């Protein structure tokens, strides 16, 4: 036999749906305070009647007579109670007036960003420099072309074995030349921690529109924009570095090499031909370099 569920009373639902409302919550609190105060008053009157051994009705009449007597204390108490009871209603009316007179601000126009790099995912990696079993060893890939750059390996809590380097801006050169099979790479990405003066250089071959002339150029991926050289015909140009956080203090950068060439040497009529290699300058840590 099915048991019919009793419907809930409308009053609890009414209270429950409005309990968190800023206006109704104050109304409910005032009702609770008045009800509780009334109950306590009756208990006090009952206690007085029993203690003084007088009828309850007589004690109740004495309390009502005292409260209705026009005295400064009674008048003050009545005024405070009235203000407390009316204050939520006054705040609600003020809120309605402010809401009516306030014109909402017009929504801001969406900010349209033109990405520097294509939004498509990079192709399959061609070569990865790092310390995994399938990687080209990162430390051995870089050679000191001049000076005495300092390199070493360390164990990092996030990535395991990583490479640390300290390469002076003046006399030291730490270069890595890529193989012919990876020279046609179009994407480069690397994971690193820049400590001081960090610059990641790309050495690229560029060509003219008719492919009759090929020349070597450097692109300096720097963390500041102020280093971009002015004028044309420069063998090296700086490009502002972009990055995103990965783990801890580590960040990663990814670039589309043909786009880098187009935005640096493109105005002079050059286009991307091939990747020659890259160079490190400054002080930092390097986890991996990926060509794809």
| Three-point CA angle 72, 76, 81, nearest 5° | 150
The DSSP secondary-structure symbol of 60 reads H
10-residue averages of pLDDT along the chain (292 residues): 44 60 65 75 73 70 66 68 71 69 50 43 80 87 79 87 83 74 85 88 85 84 61 74 87 90 88 87 89 87
CA–CA separation, 221 and 142 (whole Å): 18
pLDDT at 192: 92
CA 107, 109, 113, 119 dihedral sign is positive
pLDDT at 108: 45
Domain parsing of the chain, residue ranges: 12-100, 127-291
pLDDT at 190: 92
pLDDT at 191: 92
Is this prediction's pTM over 0.75?
no
CATH class of the region 127-291: mainly beta
């Amino acid at each position: 036999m099915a048991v019919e569920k009793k419907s809930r009373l409308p009053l609890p639902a009414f209270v429950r749906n409005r309990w968190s409302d800023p206006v109704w919550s104050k109304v409910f609190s005032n009702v609770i305070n008045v009800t509780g105060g009334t109950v306590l008053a009756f208990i006090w009157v009952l206690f007085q009647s029993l203690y003084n051994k007088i009828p309850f009705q007589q004690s109740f009449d004495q309390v009502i007579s005292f409260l209705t007597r026009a005295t400064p204390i009674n008048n003050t108490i009545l005024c405070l109670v009235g203000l407390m009871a009316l204050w939520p209603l006054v705040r609600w009316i003020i809120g309605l007036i402010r809401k009516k007179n306030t014109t909402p601000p017009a929504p801001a126009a969406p900010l349209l960003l033109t990405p520097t790099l294509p939004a498509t995912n990079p192709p399959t990696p061609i070569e990865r420099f790092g310390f995994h079993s399938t990687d080209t060893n990162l430390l051995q890939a870089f050679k000191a072309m001049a000076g005495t750059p300092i390199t070493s390996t360390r164990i990092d809590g996030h990535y395991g074995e990583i490479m640390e380097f300290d390469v002076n801006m003046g006399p030291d050169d730490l270069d890595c030349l890529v193989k012919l099979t990876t020279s046609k790479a179009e994407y480069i990405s690397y994971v690193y921690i820049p400590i001081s003066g960090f610059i990641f250089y790309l050495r690229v071959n560029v060509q003219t529109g008719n492919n009759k002339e090929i020349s070597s150029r450097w692109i300096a991926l720097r963390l500041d924009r102020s280093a971009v050289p002015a004028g044309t015909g420069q063998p090296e140009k700086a490009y502002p570095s972009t990055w995103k956080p990965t783990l801890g203090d580590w960040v990663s950068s990814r670039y589309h090499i043909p786009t880098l060439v187009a935005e640096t040497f493109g105005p002079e009529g050059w286009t991307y031909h091939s990747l020659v290699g890259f160079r490190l300058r400054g002080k930092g840590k390097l986890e991996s370099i990926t060509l794809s």
